[in-house]
Structure 1
Amino acid sequence: MTNLATNLVATATRLPDKVGIKLDQAEVTWSQLHGAAAKVAGQLREAGLEPGDRVSLILPNVPAYPVLFYGTLLAGGIVVPMNPLLKSGEIAYYFQDAGTSFSFVWPDFAEEARKGAQIAAGEGVTTQVIECTAMGPAAGALPDADPLPEPVERADDDTAVILYTSGTTGKPKGAELTHFNLHRNAARSSDDVMVMTEDDVIMGCLPLFHVFGLTCGLNTSVLRGCTLTLIPRFDPAKALEVVGRDHVTIFQGVPTMYAAMLNHPDADAAETSSLRTCVSGGSALPEAVMRNFEQKFDAQILEGYGLSETSPVASFNMPDRPTKPGTIGRAIPGCEMKLVNLDGTDTAPGEIGEIAIRGENVMKGYWGKPEATAEAIPDGWFRTGDLATVDEDGYFTIVDRKKDMIIRGGMNVYPREVEEVLYTHPDVLEAAVVGIPDDVMGEEIGAAVALKPGSETTLDEVQEYVKERIAAYKYPRRLWRLDELPKGPTGKILRREVRPPA
């Protein structure tokens, strides 16, 4: 295995006329996808792209995304996926930090990208912004050239993708994922977790610019030759409709997607009999949501865990073993996980520790940041910043982010534990628990809550409900209501953006 794009060439050769990518009525076969990607690869090389040059993608989930992603890889380039909602200043930072030569942009976001390119040019980085249509670059945007159907030779440890992590502290850092990282993680995800065959249909509502959608949706589909049916922006009604229309067998989502589909008025009438396996990641899936979803849609949800820095999949509840709701499962084959103390020593059995990971899925390092890389991987084990426990069977349970832990009067309170109780309340749709500075306790427990439409429950009733079910020092002293909680690009609730009202 060298270039990740070898997988596309192999699948297009094996299944040329099979539909690989679908977006409503638009269908793209594997040979069409390979042909379009080969054309892009030839044009990029003609325009001056050298192996190892960086190419950013600023697009929603449209067929052009896999065309440009694999076209860049065929040409030997490094892909820099970017959230289309970034503003010009943020775009400029990515262009400068990665040193991008080209940027493929969906027309809706072209103005911000051009402004970003102007700012970056002032700092000495020249990025050519190229607008796209449904299947690739707009006509005339790149010079004509012969297609490049065979991938440029790359080494296993050459960088294939630079994925910028959300940057809970400071500026985002670019995690360098190699051709080997991404190929092996797609293979493990498709074989050990989802048990995929070419007959499967995967729901592609996770954004492809995010590592979960990129690896588990796009790269697994290309590797196994199944069909990926895209939704440009998640909507629960649309998702339910597409499951029935395209006979989706594998659904990949984050907890808010499962809750939205479960609680949608169309849920009872939806045709979802094709669903076999659902995988959840990104944040903790409340047990009540998992149980109710499985019951309503008669499909198993497998919960797992990973990060941009681990390609992403590190652990999962796997279908060939008992699943343990509320856990993130066991380390997948090819990956090791353990818990460590602050000084790097292993924790004693039963104790909470920080998850450390090593294996074929761990990134090469942070792009251009050797100090940050050394801090994150001090001894060959990547430090995740997530606190967890592990049971005697090797199943990990996330307690919380190291940075999210609330210390109330000297007692440790993990927001996730309080959120789990909030989600069992029949009228709570979404919840996020945060620490609020307090003169007496140091920090106090606060909770932002979104209630289900039409609910007449009061926040006092919600507070009383939680108080009866959790230790006295843990229940939220302050609650406030929001119509909807702030979310990231995948729909993951962003606890760090939840602020109590003044």
Structure 2
Amino acid sequence: EAFEKRFNVKILEWYGSVEGGFAYKPIGKGPIGSFGKPVPGVMEFKIVDENDNEVPVGQTGELICRLLKGETKVDYLGKPEESKEKTRGGWLRTGDMVHRDAEGWYYFDYRKGSELRRSGDFIQPEYIETVIGKHPDVSEVSVYGVPAASGAPGESDLVAAIACFEGKSVDPKSFYEYLKKNLEANFIPSYLQIVPEIPKTITEKALTRVLKEDFLKGVGTIYKYEDYK
């Protein structure tokens, strides 16, 4: 709402995947943050657990979908087994973890497999990004993992890369205070990486590979949470 008022525009929220699957929320309808509902008469959605059982309303699971007319099929070049698995049982496996409210509106939560393990907890970077993105001085954010300093196999330390609005900056001490007020202790990033802008692909996805390479080389401005506890 604040964005729409500031720039005098209307935001159309929608969902789409390369292999198939489409939903949208008409402007002025439905709750903010939902990507909408599948187009009636065209596609069917389900949210399932790891055993393909539908999950209850409000619970996160993988979004799977199928066409109501015709065959739901994906063909990856030279990868017949992967193609078959992608549409196992006639349903497209999107790899997107979502939930649905009681009125049937769908919400994106995170990508399947994007979780990072930290001190035994599985953490979704997108959740932390949402919290950091609400900071008034932060323009862009990307949260990713690096090998844990403890050396524990499969464990990650969290890095929050942020770019500030023009003319703005963040003080690491006050920024970490903000995080402590809004995140559980195990969700607070171990490192804060301040960059001029978040590098992105042509589809506007954060290039965490580039951020991670710079971090591991010690390039840029990096702060350690341990120094501000």
Q: Deviations over 1:117-136 (max 9, x none)?
A: xxxxxxxxxxxxxxxxxxxx
- Residue identity matched to 1:315: A
Residue of 448, 462, 465 corresponding to 2:175: 462
Gaps of 5+ in 2: 217-229
One-letter amino acid of the counterpart of residue 293, structure 1: F
- Give 1:318 shift: 2.0
Q: 2:215 corresponds to which residue?
A: 501
SS at 1:473 equivalent: helix
For the pair 1:415 / 2:125, whether they are aligned, the reply is: yes
Distance (Å, rounded) in 2 between the aligned partners of 1:494 and 1:393: 36
Name the structure 2 match of 1:142: none
CA distance 1:496–1:329, shift in 2 (3 Å): farther
SS in 2 for 1:450: strand
Greater fraction strand: 2
- Which residue is 1:451 aligned to? 164
Name 1:385's counterpart in structure 2: 95
Q: Distance in 1 between matches of 2:209 and 2:56?
A: 30
The amino acid of 2:215's aligned partner reads: P
1:435-450 matches, within 5 Å, as 435-438=145-148, 439=150, 442-450=155-163
Alpha-carbon distance, 1:365 to partner? 2.5
The reply to whether residue 355 of structure 1 matches residue 63 of structure 2 is yes
Counterpart secondary structure, 2:110: strand
Is the CA contact 1:302–1:323 (under 8 Å) kept in the aligned structure 2?
no
Q: Which residue of 2 aligns with 1:298?
A: 8
User: What is the aligned partner in structure 2 of residue 328 from structure 1?
Assistant: 35
Contact persistence 2:125–2:144 (CA under 8 A): yes
Q: Secondary structure at the match of 1:454?
A: coil
| Alpha-carbon distance in 1 for matches of 2:130, 2:189 | 13
Q: Distance in 2 between matches of 1:463 and 1:398?
A: 27
Q: Which residue in the other structure is 1:425 paired with?
A: 135
The structure-2 alpha-carbon separation of the partners of 1:496 and 1:336, relative to structure 1 and needing over 3 Å to count, comes to farther
Cα distance per residue 1:274-294 (max 9 Å; x no partner): xxxxxxxxxxxxxxxxx3321
Match of 2:52 among 344, 347, 361: 344
Deviation at 1:487, TM superposition (A): 0.7
Conservation of the 8 A alpha-carbon contact between 1:294 and 1:300: yes
**CA-to-aligned-CA distance 1:4-44 (integer Å, 9 cap, x gap):** xxxxxxxxxxxxxxxxxxxxxxxxxxxxxxxxxxxxxxxxx
Residues in 2 aligned to 1:407 and 1:372: alpha-carbon distance in whole angstroms? 26
Question: TM-score, normalized by length of structure 2?
Answer: 0.81
The answer to whether structure 1 residue 315 and structure 2 residue 23 are counterparts is: yes
The amino acid of 1:427's aligned partner reads D
Quote the Cα distance in structure 2 between the aligned partners of 1:330 and 1:295.
25
Q: Which amino acid aligns with 1:451?
A: C
How far has the Cα of 1:419 moved from its partner?
0.8
TM-score (norm 1): 0.39
| Percentage of matched positions with identical amino acids | 31
Report the counterpart of residue 492 of structure 1 in structure 2: 205
SS at match of 1:366: coil
- C-alpha distance in structure 1 between counterparts of 2:183 and 2:190, whole Å: 13
Distance 2:111 2:158 in 1: 16
**Structure 1 residues 36-435: aligned runs within 5 Å:** 291-310=1-20, 314-319=22-27, 322-333=29-40, 334-359=42-67, 363-435=73-145
Give how far 1:368 is off: 3.9
Q: How far has the Cα of 1:380 moved from its partner?
A: 0.8
Structure 1 segments unaligned to the other structure (5+ residues): 1-290
Counterpart of 2:22, as a letter, is A
Say if 1:389 and 1:399, in contact at 8 Å, map to a contact too: yes
8 Å Cα contact 1:400/1:414 also seen in 2: yes
Q: Which runs of 4+ in 1 moved over 3 A?
A: 360-364, 494-498
Q: 1:386 to 1:495 in 2, by over 3 A?
A: farther
Per the TM alignment, residue 399 of structure 1 is displaced from its structure 2 partner at its CA by: 1.5
